[in-house]
Amino acid sequence: MREHLKILEDELRMRKKHNAFYSLRAYSRDLGLSSGYLSQILSEKRKLSLEKAELLVEKLKLAAGQKNIFLKSVQAAAIKSESLKASLGMELKTMRRKVRSQVALKVSQFHRMSDWYYAALISLCYFKEREKTEIWFSQKLGLPLEQVQSAFKVLTDLGLIRFHEGQPEAVADCLHQVSLPSRSLRESHRQYLRLAEEALENQSFDQRIISGSVFTVHPRRWPELVQAIEEFKSRLFEIAHQDEDPQRVYRLSVQMFRLDKEIQE
């Protein structure tokens, strides 16, 4: 299926999950299209114009990466030249590797999936195993089968994974955690710190990196430090997502905290 059609159908599926009475007619209304026109687009009986596509990406509030993929896919669908179409196809493939769908979780959502293994299960969905059974997932993460089954139900309810022909597929990757203070978020960080402590003892140097530095800084530089960390994370994910056959799941944690204290006068 073409990327822009997949994005449209995924969004419709997500809205229906949140509202059982949500229909194609309601979806077309919210997108500013006639229901007949949208139906023809989804069934590939009619091509979506680039002008309409540019309006849709705004209505759908797509992230920058997804927006580019959507528009590039519409452009590719309109081209008749096989060589040019193949070239755009390669561009799309590269864009997909660099940008996977990212979801910013609300506090209420994160509360339901704050344990470390939820994000790990989503990541494992990208592995190219022939049959990713629930037993396979439990063995990969060292979890009881019942825990995996329960987690999949939560992830499905939240719209973060879906099942296609019995196989789980990730709808979102590299989840953005909530930045608001919450007990669930603090406990999640504690879990990862405990896992890092275990990795320090049990994993070899070619499997983990644990390093740190102590430095001085003026408080006014804090926003710049935060920005530098975000840029580093984006670059790391870009490198990691170059391959379509991942072999390992990693957790990147960044801790930067104050060592000195204010002196009360």
- DSSP letters spanning 36-98: HHHHHHHTTSSPPPHHHHHHHHHHTT--HHHHHHHHHHHHHHH---HHHHHHHHHHHHHHHHH
Residues 143 and 165 occupy one common structural domain: yes
Residue 163 to residue 165: CA distance in whole angstroms: 7
Determine the structural domain holding residue 15 and report its residue range. Answer: 3-98
- Round the average pLDDT of the chain to a whole number and report it: 85
215-239, pLDDT tens digit by residue? Answer: 999 999 999 999 999 889 888 888 8
Of the pLDDT bands very low, low, confident and very high (cuts 50, 70, 90), residue 103 is: low
Q: Identify the residue with better confidence: 6 or 104.
A: 6
Neighbours of 215 (CB within 10 A): 6
The answer to whether the CB of 3 falls within 8 A of the CB of 92 is: yes
**From the centroid of its chain, how far is CA 245?**
17
Taking CA atoms, 50 is separated from 56, 78, 219, in Å, by: 10, 9, 47
Residue that terminates a domain, selected from 98, 121, 150: 98
Residues 82 and 92 occupy one common structural domain: yes
Residues 220 and 239 occupy one common structural domain: yes
pLDDT at 178 over 90: no
14-42, pLDDT tens digit by residue? Answer: 788 778 888 999 999 999 999 899 999 99
Beta bridge partners of 167: 164
Residues 41 and 165 occupy one common structural domain: no
**SS3 track for 82-93:** HHHHHHHHHHHH
Among 111, 106, 107, 136, which residue's Cα sits nearest to residue 121? 136
Residues 262 and 134 occupy one common structural domain: yes
The arithmetic mean of pLDDT across residues 155-174, rounded, is 80
Residues 108 and 73 occupy one common structural domain: no
pLDDT at 137 over 90: yes
Residue that terminates a domain, selected from 56, 78, 98: 98
Give the model's pLDDT for residue 254.
93
The answer to whether the CB of 69 falls within 8 A of the CB of 95 is: yes
CATH number at residue 15: 1.10.260
pLDDT at 127 over 60: yes
Q: Identify the residue with better confidence: 200 or 59.
A: 200
Residues 140 and 10 occupy one common structural domain: no
Beta strands in the chain (DSSP E): 161-164, 167-170
Taking CA atoms, 135 is separated from 26, 153, 170, in Å, by: 40, 15, 18
Residues 130 and 75 occupy one common structural domain: no
**Region of residue 133 (left: phi > 0; alpha: psi -120 to 50; beta: else):** beta
pLDDT at 51 over 60: yes
Residues 18 and 133 occupy one common structural domain: no
Residues 92 and 109 occupy one common structural domain: no
pLDDT at 104 over 60: no
Tally the residues of the chain: 265
Model's pTM, two decimal places? 0.61
Residues 184 and 258 occupy one common structural domain: yes
- What is the number of domains present in the chain? 2
Taken in order 172, 175, 178, 184, the sign of the CA dihedral is: positive
Q: Identify the residue with better confidence: 220 or 170.
A: 220
Beta bridge partners of 164: 167
Residues 170 and 245 occupy one common structural domain: yes
Residue that terminates a domain, selected from 45, 74, 98: 98
Residues in Cβ contact with 129 at an 8 Å cutoff, skipping those fewer than 6 apart: 136
